[in-house]
Amino acid sequence: MATAAITTLDRWFSRYIRLDNVISVGSSGQPYCQCCTCKTIKVWNKLHCGHFINKGEMAVRYDEKNVAPQCYQCNSMREGQAGAFAIYLMQKYDHDVIHYLELKRKTKFRACKATVKQLTDYYRELANERAKKYGIKF
């Protein structure tokens, strides 16, 4: 699979995840999100789309239960804060979510052109819907 296509999918998926997790809107109209691990609140585009199970594991890379807004420090400098991330996921979903993700990561996922295009189109549409709500243009 072409790297450029995966990069495009990653960008739309990340935008959607962060805009879908907005907790407040500032006086300037900017949407804010909270880091799932340290609880820092920042403008949505200053946070990453953190992955509980590394995004190199393609079977869970685009699973919405595997990701959440995460600050640069937690995602990159603190290697994802797996313990705090697990607690966040169990509180948001249930205690079985970690087991579900661990099982799913072992399944095969083939990132063929058609699948990547379908996912890109899907997350582009969702991201654009959320962006429109906050007056954001990409």
| pLDDT mean by block of 10 residues, the chain; 138 residues | 87 98 93 98 98 96 98 95 98 97 93 94 98 94
Pairing assessment for the beta strands 31-34 and 24-25 based on DSSP bridges: antiparallel
In 3D space, the residue among 34, 2, 16, 11 whose CA is nearest the CA of residue 125 turns out to be 16
DSSP state of 65: G
**Whole-number pLDDT of residue 1:** 54
* 6: alpha, beta or left? (left if phi > 0; alpha if psi -120 to 50): alpha
Residue 99: both structure tokens together: 């087991």
Burial class (CB in 10 A: 0-12, 13-18, 19+), 33: buried
* Pairwise CA distance, residues 82 & 65, whole Å: 14
**Whole-number pLDDT of residue 85:** 98
Residue 131: both structure tokens together: 């962006």
**Whole-number pLDDT of residue 28:** 87
For the entire predicted model, the pTM comes to: 0.95
Within 10 A of 94 (CB to CB), how many other CB atoms are there?
Answer: 11
The full set of domain ranges for the chain reads 10-124
**Whole-number pLDDT of residue 2:** 57
